[in-house]
A and B are shown apart, each in its own frame.
Chain A
Amino acid sequence: MRRREFLRLASLSPLALLALKSGIARGSSGRARRVIVLGIDGMDPGLLRRFVSQGRMPNAARLMQMGGMRPLGTSNPPQSPVAWSSFITGAGPHVHGIYDFIHRDAETMVPFLSTSEVTDSGDSIGIGKWRIPTGGADVRLLRRGRPFWSHITGDGMPASLIKLPVDFPPGSGRARILSGLGTPDLRGSQGSFTFFTDDPRALSDDTGGGIIRAVRDYGDGLYECRLEGPENTMLESGGKMEVPLNVWIDRGSRGVRIDVCGERVVLGEGEWSPWVSLSFDLIPGISSVNGIARFFLKEAGRYLKLYVTPINIDPRSPALPISNPDHLSSDLARAVGPFYTQGFPEDTKALSRGVLSDAEYMQQAEIVLAERMKLYEHSLSNFDDGLFFFYFTSLDLNVHMFYRAIDRESPLHGQVDMGSFGDVVADLYGRIDRAIGMAMEHMDDRTVLLALSDHGFAPFRRSFNLNSWLAAEGYATLGDPYSRDQDMYAAADWSETSAYGLGLNGLYINLRGRERDGVVAPAEKERLMEDIARRLESATDPATGRRVVRRAYITDRVFGPDQPPWAPDMLVGYANGYRASWETTLGAYPEEVITDNLDPWSGTHCTSPAVVPGTLLSSVPIAHDSPALMDMGRSVCSLLGTSTRPAHGRDVFGDDSETRA
């Protein structure tokens, strides 16, 4: 055996692992040469321990032996955009400005996505029906604060962050970044599918998560469909761009041929197409926007049922900035093929709305995970020095959808086909374990590996209609009870409403001088919030007798008095088993206050932070007993020995006593 080969094998032996454990990973200078951070959204410490003890996660077990494992304090509220922003900046929402998936404009009461915004420059020259913009669209990241890797690149060390959450559009610094969570699809939403069918039973007015289009075969086997794309910003009258989609059905062979944008795609029932390039004309023949989508043929018999994934930004020719440098996304696509660029790639909405079955959803989730693993393998093999961060979303979204398989108290547990899906969660953890194993193979004596998550998981058995509760308790009055189920507070009588819920944990006071129709005097706000907090914390579920809210936080008591105008006044920390209902998140007032959650979205983390801590697995010993996600930026900088470090957080691997922000 050659010496080099011997050393390589020896480095993987238990002795070498012990050596790593004793701190050699930082090298003689005390500095790591490389830090690999695997961001595994939703990896729960309890589930991890269970699967490790069952022998399903041998690599995680090895990593725990090398360094250790601790629950990782999450953000308040424990939502992914908030938590990952805290990871990036080392601080809470008062610094990075992200309090929820959605915020609201108090002057208009219109909700908006919290992480980024796309605005038109406004300047244009009109030519007939066309409007030629003289400036480009402005895509702006709303997350504030200095990212921790700027200290690493500032010292001349490379940093590569692939599928980084809450970083769309990526900044223009020296780090190589491919944006992840928060990246919209081409329509500007967080993922909006299209479903073409002539089955009248599948049609509905519901537009949540996607569009269901009625189509018809006039007898020649042709369905003339139109796939809706983004807004045409060059058309004076506006309107969505579309591409024609001719679907030829052969009921005998139960297949279709899809003619779209010069390509022909043949599909049989139950099959997924590869990525298909789509081109939407802004001005025909002159300017277009590129996207990619996959097709899934659900049925080609009596009815046509054709599902189209959300139209993703084409990484080979991105319509919006998704990477830094710009060419990174196309380089990666050239190496591994096109991939999902939207932040939420698993189509949970299609499963919730019954467009995809459990099995079909899992096929789609498997495509996402396989793509992600290829991207991971390629990026990892090209990593030499500095920081490498890679983000996995599969565990989070799939556990959201299949928590009902591991939660015997879930109202949907009895309906799960346990033979097929009983082990989905364990299998997913197993797949993540393989990713950990791959990173371990890339370790040398000066590499530190961290696998961490932003939060854990809790069951979502009962839905709490916060707005309905506020109305029942006298904090809100309904002007039009027949509009209770409509979004955007259609039923609210603002002149008699002192508080309202928006988003997954947010509660706002209808404050005079701030809200459009504010009625609560600023002097009354504190007393009102204390009153609501007390009553929320004592609210019980009549069906179970359990407390619904573990703790109701008054925001400026948690984060300080200087809160931005979009910050919620209170954060509702739900107890285990409870979460804000989907209806509440967008301002509806359903009849019942607490109902069974009958949506496949059966796991949650939008509870009290104490219910859903994240996980930290490390190849070096963790010095602190209660590390938190917002400590990790400073800790990584410390491992790499940067000359400057983030102002906030602690070094959880050393004896740094810096206080948290």
Chain B
Amino acid sequence: MAAVRGALDLLFDAVTWPLGGTRPLWGLILVSLLSGLWMILLFKTASPQRAIKRLRRRMGAQALGMLLYLSSPLQVLRLAGGLLWSNFLYLGMILLPLAVIALPFGLTYGQLEARYGRGYPDSGDTLTATLEYAVAPPGDEVVVSSSRGLEPLPPLVTIDSLRQVSLRLTVEETAPRSLSAAGEELPVGRRSLRSGSIVYAGAETPSAASLFRPGNSIIAPEARDSLRSFRVSIPGRDYHVLWHGWSWLAVFLVFSTLSAVAGAVVFKVRV
């Protein structure tokens, strides 16, 4: 998994490398535009384009027929039924290309969320951390044995029925930042990449899940006896576009849609 993660990091670094020195927004826009493009091209490759073309013509004819035969309710009903069936056929045709797109889309989504969706906590910020145990949580005094760059704040709220302990952490100047709990070193850090960084908490060992959520905090269950997970509320960030604050997802959706539409026109993709 470490090798896959490394390859993904390298790929996204290479794509965003030309804009490495600029604001993160430009990198996000570039990846969004490229994502829209590859998604539409992948769709073209994986879908039966001729069949879609024929089906769309038929659907157009059925819709037009309904307008022409408005005076004949039976005919309208027949055409409407045909149109409904054509829609089902269309959905069936796009299932395979959507399945093909899903995996790379999931990886892209995770990378973008981790690179552009979270802000690195500043000194003085307060984070909320939750430790989940496989067994009953320990008493307050032994939950956090030590910490670096993170100051645990009282109270430590123990929820026995959920086997969880929640606490607040004040972020200090010093880095790296980590907690020691249940014999584990739990980092809250930033993995520096060529074109930016990925903010993460607790994800030490790359797992299959961490490929889709590189900033995720899930601790691989096979490696831990008592501690099941460590989650930290890492603050989100937004981008200033056209006088509005946009989430990274809004930027991604708008720009990837724009490039997908443009790609469909240029490469004559039937969608």
Interface residues of A (CB under 8 A from B): 220-222, 248, 250, 252-257, 263-266, 268, 274, 316, 325, 327, 330-331, 333-334
Contact between chains at A253 and B154 (CB < 8 Å): yes
Q: Is B205 an interface residue (CB 8 A)?
A: no
B244 — which chain A residues lie within 8 A by C-beta? 327, 330
Q: Is B142 an interface residue (CB 8 A)?
A: no
Q: Is B101 an interface residue (CB 8 A)?
A: no
Contact between chains at A264 and B233 (CB < 8 Å): yes
Additional A-B contact list (14), CB under 8 Å, known A248-B157, A264-B128: A248-B166, A250-B157, A252-B140, A252-B158, A253-B155, A254-B155, A255-B155, A263-B128, A266-B155, A266-B167, A327-B243, A327-B244, A333-B245, A334-B240
Q: Is B161 an interface residue (CB 8 A)?
A: yes
Least CB distance from B220 to A in Å reads 23
Contact between chains at A257 and B243 (CB < 8 Å): no
A221 — which chain B residues lie within 8 A by C-beta? 159-161
Contact between chains at A263 and B233 (CB < 8 Å): yes
Least CB distance from B126 to A in Å reads 8
Q: Is B130 an interface residue (CB 8 A)?
A: yes
Q: Which residue of B lies closest to A274 (CB)?
A: B126
Complex alpha-carbon distance, A250 and B158, angstroms? 6
B126 — which chain A residues lie within 8 A by C-beta? 274
Contact between chains at A257 and B166 (CB < 8 Å): yes
B243 is contacted by which of A274, A331, A333 (Cβ under 8 Å)?
A331
Q: 16 A-B contacts, Cβ less than 8 Å apart? A: A222-B161, A248-B159, A250-B156, A250-B158, A253-B155, A255-B157, A257-B157, A263-B128, A263-B233, A264-B233, A266-B157, A266-B166, A266-B168, A268-B154, A274-B126, A316-B245
Chain B 109-139 residues near chain A, CB threshold 8 A:
126, 128, 130
Complex alpha-carbon distance, A330 and B243, angstroms? 9
B154 — which chain A residues lie within 8 A by C-beta? 253, 255, 268
Interface centre among B154, B157, B238 (most CB of A within 10 A): B157
Interface residues of B (CB under 8 A from A): 126, 128, 130, 140, 154-162, 166-168, 233, 238, 240, 243-245
Complex alpha-carbon distance, A257 and B243, angstroms? 36
Complex alpha-carbon distance, A327 and B245, angstroms? 9
B233 — which chain A residues lie within 8 A by C-beta? 263-264
Interface centre among B140, B159, B245 (most CB of A within 10 A): B159
Least CB distance from B206 to A in Å reads 26
B159 is contacted by which of A250, A254, A268 (Cβ under 8 Å)?
A250
A266 — which chain B residues lie within 8 A by C-beta? 128, 155, 157, 166-168
B128 — which chain A residues lie within 8 A by C-beta? 263-266
Complex alpha-carbon distance, A266 and B168, angstroms? 7
B168 — which chain A residues lie within 8 A by C-beta? 266
A268 — which chain B residues lie within 8 A by C-beta? 154-155
Complex alpha-carbon distance, A263 and B130, angstroms? 11
Q: Work out how many contacts link A and B, with CB atoms closer than 8 A.
A: 60
Complex alpha-carbon distance, A274 and B240, angstroms? 23
Instruction: Using known A-B contacts A330-B244, A330-B245, A334-B238, determine if residue A264 contacts B161 with beta carbons closer than 8 Å.
Output: no
Q: Which residue of A lies closest to B240 (CB)?
A: A334
Least CB distance from A222 to B in Å reads 7
Q: Which residue of A lies closest to B168 (CB)?
A: A266
Complex alpha-carbon distance, A222 and B166, angstroms? 14
Complex alpha-carbon distance, A334 and B140, angstroms? 37
Complex alpha-carbon distance, A321 and B8, angstroms? 44
Instruction: Using known A-B contacts A264-B233, A266-B128, A266-B167, determine if residue A256 contacts B243 with beta carbons closer than 8 Å.
Output: no
B238 — which chain A residues lie within 8 A by C-beta? 334
Least CB distance from A304 to B in Å reads 13
Instruction: Using known A-B contacts A220-B161, A330-B244, determine if residue A264 contacts B166 with beta carbons closer than 8 Å.
Output: yes
Complex alpha-carbon distance, A266 and B245, angstroms? 27
Least CB distance from A619 to B in Å reads 34
Least CB distance from A48 to B in Å reads 36
Complex alpha-carbon distance, A264 and B164, angstroms? 12
Complex alpha-carbon distance, A264 and B169, angstroms? 13
A248 — which chain B residues lie within 8 A by C-beta? 157, 159, 162, 166
A274 — which chain B residues lie within 8 A by C-beta? 126
Q: Which residue of A lies closest to B154 (CB)?
A: A268
Contact between chains at B245 and A255 (CB < 8 Å): no
Instruction: Using known A-B contacts A253-B140, A266-B128, A266-B166, determine if residue A334 contacts B245 with beta carbons closer than 8 Å.
Output: yes
A330 — which chain B residues lie within 8 A by C-beta? 244-245
B167 — which chain A residues lie within 8 A by C-beta? 266
Complex alpha-carbon distance, A334 and B243, angstroms? 11
Complex alpha-carbon distance, A316 and B238, angstroms? 11
B166 — which chain A residues lie within 8 A by C-beta? 248, 257, 264, 266
B140 — which chain A residues lie within 8 A by C-beta? 252-253
Least CB distance from B131 to A in Å reads 12
B245 — which chain A residues lie within 8 A by C-beta? 316, 330, 333-334
A327 — which chain B residues lie within 8 A by C-beta? 243-244
Contact between chains at B157 and A253 (CB < 8 Å): yes
Complex alpha-carbon distance, A426 and B126, angstroms? 33
B156 is contacted by which of A222, A255, A263, A316 (Cβ under 8 Å)?
A255
Least CB distance from A539 to B in Å reads 56
A257 — which chain B residues lie within 8 A by C-beta? 130, 157, 159, 166
A253 is contacted by which of B156, B160, B161, B243 (Cβ under 8 Å)?
B156
Complex alpha-carbon distance, A252 and B162, angstroms? 16
Least CB distance from B25 to A in Å reads 14
A263 — which chain B residues lie within 8 A by C-beta? 128, 233
Q: Which residue of A lies closest to B169 (CB)?
A: A266
Interface centre among B128, B155, B233, B245 (most CB of A within 10 A): B155
B162 — which chain A residues lie within 8 A by C-beta? 248
A331 — which chain B residues lie within 8 A by C-beta? 243
Least CB distance from A23 to B in Å reads 40
The 4 closest A-B pairs by CB, nearest first: A255-B155, A253-B155, A327-B243, A250-B157
